Amino acid sequence: MGRQYWKPSNMLYPVPAVLVSCADEEGHANVMTAAWAGTVCSDPVMLSVSIRRERYSHGIIKRTGEFVVNLTTEKLAKVTDYVGVKSGRDIDKFALQGDLKLTKSESRFVKAPGIAESPVCLECRVTQILELGSHDMFIAEVLSTDIDEQYLDEKGKFDLAAAKLVAYSHGEYYALGELLGKFGYSVRKK
Ligand SMILES: Cc1cc2nc3c(=O)[nH]c(=O)nc-3n(C[C@H](O)[C@H](O)[C@H](O)COP(=O)(O)O)c2cc1C
């Protein structure tokens, strides 16, 4: 079997599919899904989210300079897809019910709410906007890591695996699979 050479693509997978929440100047909140998101710096803690200009969230985040990145779980997979195909221009995504229901959680440093059903909400303030082409990349400093206490064990250790995070790969959502090793396990003495 040979190797085929295809045109450039965004086939850098898997990536997280996160919920990006924001609030406009009147306090009306919105949320969209973003897969073009990533960590970009450890100190200061920074991340990026790339958003198309036509998204309703784009204007809100550009004007307010704030948003919250919320990690998604198996339970949140359906609503993650839903808020990624519906616009806040047409519906109030915080008024959805049943298995699509999202509850606002208070943020400490930004007006944008986090999502209570998410295990980790990262409060962000925009520091730079890079106009790249189809997407504007919002580079932001993470001001607070808001975690759901239910994932803390008796010793206060945060058990992120228990949250059952979701990955996005080539148009599909996946539950994370089995643990293969821990950071540095390849060089650790047995
Ligand atoms: C899995 C998934 C990933 C997405 N990733 C992005 C992204 O990284 N950037 C973007 O601009 N739109 C992305 N979208 C599309 C937006 O979430 C979608 O257009 C949404 O309706 C925008 O909401 P808004 O108009 O309320 O802001 C994604 C959608 C899905 C389902």
Cα separation of 105 and 115, whole Å? 5
pTM attached to this predicted model: 0.98
Q: So what's the pLDDT on residue 190? A: 77
pLDDT tier for residue 158 given thresholds of 50, 70 and 90: very high
Structure token pair of residue 88: 């806040």
Q: Which of 32, 51, 87 to mutate to test the pocket of ligand 1 (most atoms within 8 A of CB)?
A: 32
Of the candidates 10, 37, 189, the residue with the CA atom closest to the CA atom of residue 124: 37
Cα separation of 187 and 171, whole Å? 35
Q: So what's the pLDDT on residue 58? A: 99
Q: So what's the pLDDT on residue 43? A: 98
Count CB neighbours of 133 within 10 A.
9
For atom 9 of ligand 1, the residue with the nearest CA is 51
Q: So what's the pLDDT on residue 33? A: 99
pLDDT single digits (tens) 60-112: 999 999 999 999 999 999 999 999 999 999 999 999 999 999 999 999 999 99
Cα separation of 145 and 119, whole Å? 10
In order of start, what are the domains of the chain with their CATH numbers?
15-175 (2.30.110.10)
Ligand 1 geometric centre to CA of 45 (Å): 24
